[in-house]
Structures are given as structure tokens and as C-alpha cells.
């Protein structure tokens, strides 16, 4: 069940200080998202936090300078998602432009080695004879892996943004805004944001040492912000002011064509316009194509796409990523139907509501897609969900790997830690964020874990927490449902996690309704209080048993304003998030 609630302003009008020429609607939207002044929405690079605030930065830079001056081999150990791929590409590009060409990368195959810098990955890395390993978007929990590297004489820099555990790895340097004692105000940096700051500090230190010359010019670090925007948005980290600056500046570069060939190719294959690209385009069109490679195949394809300077090769790699993404969607659709059948069987057999904390396992499920599956089920049933798959292709495999997704107000990693404390040994390992986490356990312990996880969720979530809500920014006047207002909102700021894209709600008269693309409801509407104002709208993935409904003449809809571009023409369109029949 879903209800529409009005988003409340976080400040009174007399408590805010915005420029007088700010559009009143934008002013209202900013205040509702916690912005208090024009400075809060100033997304210029001059407002960016400085790297010296990050704990461990001096040690990391010192290690890098030693490696660069000694011409030692640097090995980047990445992660198999978009944040990891963009972090890896950024580190390599930046180091090369600072004159260090002996830099390589390795990404653990998630199906063989799992996540992070493990002793097994160190054993593989040794064959490349690195003097220094840099982890990007991982490593804060790699206690054993760092120990293995240090034992063989390899120095290690950890750059990560995940929450640290009780024990930190004994690395030569750790840069992570979430480590204890770090005074960096923005705790929500993505992994790519962390390595960007490391490279920013490195360039500054090299300048002080007169490293750069007429033959080797200091790189303009802004050129890497396309990668920072890509990884930050795709990792769905909260867009605090600092992250909004990073994303906005990256988007500006992409829109004017000043981005890497790989991002250009991904935009093209996704049938998006670079000149009009938004954060949501990154999240829903570019990100999934890169993520699919890490889920089903090898994210190295995606890293290669982000590294190449050859336009033709970039297009070929983007096509390969698109093909993998199509396979991912087909696998996901089958898995989701299996999951829903399993949930229905549970309801029918026990005649009771679903578990508050849902755990699902099917030995046929693909390990790389269980995270997306958990997200889909979480969205549909609005409760924490963990989906499990076998750790490898052997049907007799006795280890499960799970991917968890949570709802607002329930910290999933803290919940897993509570289960681990209450039931030592039940999980082999776990880690993650407030909204997403990963874990592994023995197959024989699945039922025991499911019960323990459900019990933990019930301690923190009431029945009312399990009802989904759509937060609306209120009603729009007919004059505000216009192409100009849609564009104004589109380009105002990067909208995203914790600074959500505006949603409005109004009552409409239904003029036309039909299903397109199997499950999408295409509507022609007019406003109840302005019948002459005709508006196009679309609602994705509706219940085709309920729609279209010729008996319905009036609806209430919560919607986003969108710019529809078709055959070189632009028009305003409503993207309906929630729809209710009125009469």
C-alpha cells in the first residue's frame, strides 16, 4: 500500500536567505530539501571541500610520491561495480598524466574471489610484481589481504568509503572519510570521490616538488569529474552539497562534450542526449550498462571502455556492455517471477503476512543479479530484503552469497552486525552501508539466519513503517506544468539520494489511456480546474489487470515533470510515480 504525503519545509521563510531572483518554485523545493541559503546551492568548484581535511592523506601522498620517483609499479585493485570501475579508470588516467606510466589494474572476479583485497587476490597480484597496491572503492575490511601483501613486501594504500569494522587493516595509508577521527565533513563520498581527492592532493604535492615542467604539464583535475559524476550517481550515495558540486561539475563537462570517449559511447548506446544529460540518466541508463558487466561477466570491459581514447573501440565496448545488460535484464525478469511465486506460496501456505525482514534463496538464481532482485522486491513490498544465490555454479555448493537492500529508517549493516553479535558464526562475513549490504553464510544456516534477521527487523520496524509513502512537493498550477518549468527543474541541481527530484501531485481528468510497451500506461490528461490544459503522461510498469480502465474519468497522480524529446521537438510530460482512481 502506498500513500502520498506532503513534503514539509525544513525552514521557515524568515530563516532562509536566497537571492531575490531565484524562481519561487525552486526556492520552495530547495527549502524542503534542507537548503537554507544561496550558498547551499552554490555548486561552483570554489565551494568544494579541500583534500587536506581527509585523515591519512599525507601518508597516502607520501607513498605515491615515493613510488612515482622510484618509477615503481603501482597496481590498482578495484571493485566490480560502476563506482569501482570509474575509480579505477580515474586513478590510472590521473597517474599517467602525472608522468607515471607503470600502473596496472586488477579486479577480483566476484564469482571466484568475492569482494575486496583478499589473500587470494594478493597471490595473483604478486605475479605482476607491484611495489604498491592502491585499493579503490574497497579495502577497509581487507585485514587479511593487507597482511598478506605486507608480508610479501608490497606496500598498500586503502582508499574506500564503506563503513569500517572493529579492526582496520594494517595498511601504509588509509583514506576513508568514515574512519574514526577523520574530520572531513562529507561522509558520503563515493569511492570515486575519495580517489579523486587523493589524486588532487598528489598533484598539489608534486607541484610543490617542481615535478611538472614544459614537457610534463600538471593535469587539470576538473577533466576527471565526468568519471566522478558517473561513479557518484551510480553508487546512489547521498548527494550532500559536496557531492552535488562533484556531480554538477561533471555533468557540465559531459553536456559540453568534454568527457572521455567511453562515457560518450555509453550515452550514444543508451540513446540519450549528452547535451541534456541528467543525474537520473546516469543512474538509469549509463550505470546499469556498466554494472551489468560486473554482475554477469567482467567489469574490466567497462574499465577498458572508460580508459580508451579510441572512439571506435569505445563504441564497440559500449555495444558489448549493452548486450550484457540485455542478458542481465532477461535473467532478472525470470528471477523476479520466481521470487514472487515463492512469496505467494509462503502466503498461501501459512495464511499470514510476509516476514518483516525477507530472505529469499533459489539455487538457480544468478549471484550477480540478486542485488537488483532484492531492490525490486524491496520496492514492491517495502521492507528489508536479502536475496541469496549459490557462491558458485556447483549445485551442491554449500556457501550462499546474499545481497541486502533496506528501506528508510532501517540501517541494514547495523542489523547484520546485531545478528552477528547475537549469533556468532552464523555469517561468514558481511559489510555495507545503511541501505545496502552483502554477506555470506553456509547453506545449512539459511533458515536460522532468516529467522534471526526477521526478528532483528521486528525490533526496529512497526507495521506503519511497512507502508510506502511518496513525498510530494505539493500541487502545481496549470501555468507551472510547462516546458520552461520542466527545464528549470532539470538543470537547477543534480537531483538524487537525499536531495530527491521533485514530485508533485494533482487531480486530473483522463482524456485518453492505453497500454504501450506491454506494461506502460500512456495517458492524455487535463487539469480538473483547467480543462483546456492538455498534458501527456506515462506511468511505467502498471498492473495491466487494473489498467487501462474505461470507467475511470478522474485520477490523483504523483508525478515528476519531464522534458520529452521526440523528432527534434520538445514537450512537457508527466512521469507518474503513483496513481489513484478517483471516479
pLDDT digits (tens, 9 = 90+) for 1-30: 678 888 988 888 779 999 999 999 999 999
Residue 433 lies inside a defined structural domain of this protein: yes
DSSP per-residue string spanning 517-566: TTTEEEEEEEETTEEEEEEEEEESS--TTT-S-TT--EEEEEEEEEEEEE
Q: Residues 66, 155: one domain? A: yes
Q: Residues 462, 475: one domain? A: no
Is 32 or 4 the better-scoring residue by pLDDT? 32
Residue 176's pLDDT is 98
The CATH number linked to 383 is 3.10.310.30
Residue 484 lies inside a defined structural domain of this protein: yes
Least Cα distance to 229 among 255, 211, 268, 210 occurs for 255
Q: Residues 493, 538: one domain? A: yes
Lowest-confidence segment of 25-29, 128-132, 426-430 by average pLDDT: 426-430
CB atoms near residue 280 (< 10 Å): 17
Give the HSE-up count for residue 396: Cα atoms under 13 Å, Cβ half-sphere: 0
Is 63 or 465 the better-scoring residue by pLDDT? 63
pLDDT digits (tens, 9 = 90+) for 404-413: 999 988 999 9
Q: Residues 390, 252: one domain? A: no
Residue 143 lies inside a defined structural domain of this protein: yes
Query: How many distinct structural domains can be found in the chain?
Result: 3
Residue 351's pLDDT is 44
Domain boundary among 259, 292, 322: 259
Contact call for residues 489 and 476 (beta carbons, < 8 A): no
Q: Residues 59, 158: one domain? A: yes
Least Cα distance to 494 among 189, 247, 191 occurs for 247
Q: Residues 359, 411: one domain? A: yes
pLDDT digits (tens, 9 = 90+) for 321-333: 999 999 988 988 8
Residue 319 lies inside a defined structural domain of this protein: no
pLDDT digits (tens, 9 = 90+) for 194-211: 999 999 999 999 999 999
Q: Residues 237, 101: one domain? A: yes
Residue 448 lies inside a defined structural domain of this protein: yes
Residue 342's pLDDT is 75
Domain boundary among 406, 432, 466: 466
Residue 236 lies inside a defined structural domain of this protein: yes
Q: Residues 475, 462: one domain? A: no
Q: Cell 552539497 identifies what position?
A: 241
Q: Residues 420, 569: one domain? A: no
| Per-residue burial over 540-573, b = 16 or more CB atoms within 10 Å of its CB, e = otherwise | eebeeeebbeeebeebebbbbbbbeeeeeeeebb
Q: Residues 432, 480: one domain? A: no
Residue 556 lies inside a defined structural domain of this protein: yes
Q: Residues 109, 236: one domain? A: yes
The CATH number linked to 493 is 2.40.50.460
Q: Residues 366, 492: one domain? A: no
Residue 29 lies inside a defined structural domain of this protein: no
Q: Note down the domain range covering 410.
A: 353-466
Mean pLDDT of 65-84: 96
Is 469 or 93 the better-scoring residue by pLDDT? 93
Say which DSSP state 70 is in: T
Domain boundary among 434, 466, 498: 466
Amino acid at each position: 500500500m502506498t500513500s502520498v504525503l506532503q513534503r514539509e519545509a525544513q525552514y521557515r521563510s524568515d530563516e532562509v536567505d536566497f537571492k531575490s531572483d531565484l524562481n519561487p518554485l525552486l526556492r520552495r523545493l530547495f527549502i524542503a530539501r534542507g537548503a537554507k541559503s544561496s550558498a547551499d546551492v552554490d555548486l561552483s568548484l570554489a565551494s568544494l571541500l579541500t583534500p587536506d581535511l581527509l585523515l591519512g592523506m599525507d601518508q597516502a601522498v607520501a607513498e605515491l610520491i615515493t613510488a612515482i620517483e622510484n618509477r615503481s609499479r603501482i597496481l590498482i585493485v578495484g571493485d566490480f561495480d560502476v563506482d569501482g570501475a570509474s575509480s579505477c579508470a580515474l586513478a590510472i588516467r590521473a597517474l599517467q598524466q602525472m608522468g607515471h606510466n607503470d600502473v596496472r589494474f586488477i579486479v577480483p572476479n566476484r564469482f571466484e574471489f568475492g569482494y575486496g583485497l583478499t589473500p587470494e587476490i594478493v597471490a595473483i597480484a604478486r605475479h605482476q610484481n607491484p611495489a604498491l597496491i592502491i585499493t579503490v572503492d574497497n579495502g577497509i575490511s581487507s585485514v587479511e589481504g593487507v597482511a598478506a601483501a605486507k608480508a610479501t613486501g608490497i606496500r598498500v594504500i586503502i582508499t574506500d568509503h564503506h563503513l569500517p569494522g572493529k579492526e582496520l587493516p594494517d595498511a601504509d595509508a588509509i583514506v576513508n572519510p568514515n574512519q574514526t577521527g577523520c574530520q572531513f565533513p562529507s561522509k558520503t563520498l563515493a569511492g570515486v570521490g575519495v580517489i579523486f581527492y587523493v589524486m588532487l592532493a598528489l598533484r598539489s604535492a608534486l607541484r610543490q616538488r617542481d615535478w611538472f615542467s614544459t614537457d610534463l604539464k600538471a593535469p587539470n583535475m576538473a577533466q576527471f569529474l565526468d568519471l566522478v559524476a558517473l561513479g557518484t550517481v551510480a553508487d546512489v550515495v547521498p548527494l550532500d552539497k559536496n557531492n552535488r558540486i562533484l556531480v554538477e561539475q561533471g555533468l557540465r563537462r559531459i553536456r559540453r562534450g568534454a568527457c572521455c570517449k567511453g562515457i560518450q559511447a555509453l550515452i550514444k548506446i543508451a540513446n540519450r542526449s549528452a547535451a541534456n544529460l541528467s543525474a537520473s540518466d546516469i543512474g538509469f541508463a549509463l550505470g546499469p550498462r556498466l554494472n551489468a558487466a560486473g554482475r554477469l561477466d567482467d567489469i574490466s570491459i567497462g574499465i577498458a571502455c572508460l580508459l580508451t581514447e579510441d572512439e571506435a573501440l569505445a563504441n564497440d565496448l559500449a555495444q558489448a556492455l549493452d548486450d550484457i545488460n540485455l542478458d542481465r535484464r532477461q535473467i532478472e525478469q525470470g528471477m523476479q517471477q520466481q521470487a514472487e511465486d515463492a512469496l505467494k506460496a509462503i502466503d498461501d501456505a501459512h495464511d499470514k503476512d510476509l516476514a518483516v525482514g525477507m530472505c529469499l534463496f533459489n539455487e538457480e538464481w544468478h549471484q550477480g543479479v540478486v542485488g537488483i532482485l532484492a531492490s525490486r522486491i524491496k520496492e514492491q513490498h517495502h521492507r528489508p530484503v536479502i536475496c541469496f544465490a549459490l557462491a558458485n555454479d556447483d549445485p551442491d555448493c554449500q556457501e550462499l552469497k546474499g545481497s541486502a537492500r533496506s528501506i528508510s529508517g532501517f540501517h541494514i549493516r547495523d542489523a547484520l552486525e546485531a545478528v552477528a553479535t547475537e549469533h556468532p558464526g552464523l555469517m561468514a562475513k558481511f559489510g555495507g552501508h545503511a541501505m545496502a549490504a552483502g554477506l555470506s553464510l553456509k547453506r545449512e544456516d539459511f533458515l536460522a539466519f532468516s529467522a534471526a534477521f526477521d526478528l532483528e527487523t521486528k525490533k526496529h520496524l512497526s507495521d506503519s513503517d511497512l507502508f510506502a509513502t511518496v513525498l510530494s512537493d505539493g500541487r502545481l498550477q496549470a501555468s507551472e506544468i510547462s516546458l520552461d518549468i520542466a527545464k528549470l527543474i532539470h538543470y537547477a541541481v543534480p537531483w538524487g539520494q537525499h536531495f530527491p527530484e521533485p514530485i508533485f501531485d494533482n487531480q486530473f481528468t483522463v482524456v485518453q489511456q492505453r497500454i504501450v510497451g506491454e506494461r506502460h500506461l500512456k495517458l492524455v490528461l487535463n487539469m480538473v480546474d483547467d480543462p483546456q490544459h492538455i498534458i501527456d503522461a506515462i506511468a511505467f510498469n502498471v498492473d495491466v489487470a487494473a489498467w487501462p480502465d474505461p470507467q475511470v474519468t478522474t485520477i490523483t497522480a504523483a508525478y515528476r515533470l519531464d522534458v520529452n524529446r521526440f523528432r527534434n521537438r520538445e514537450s512537457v510530460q508527466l512521469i507518474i510515480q503513483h496513481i489513484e482512481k478517483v471516479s
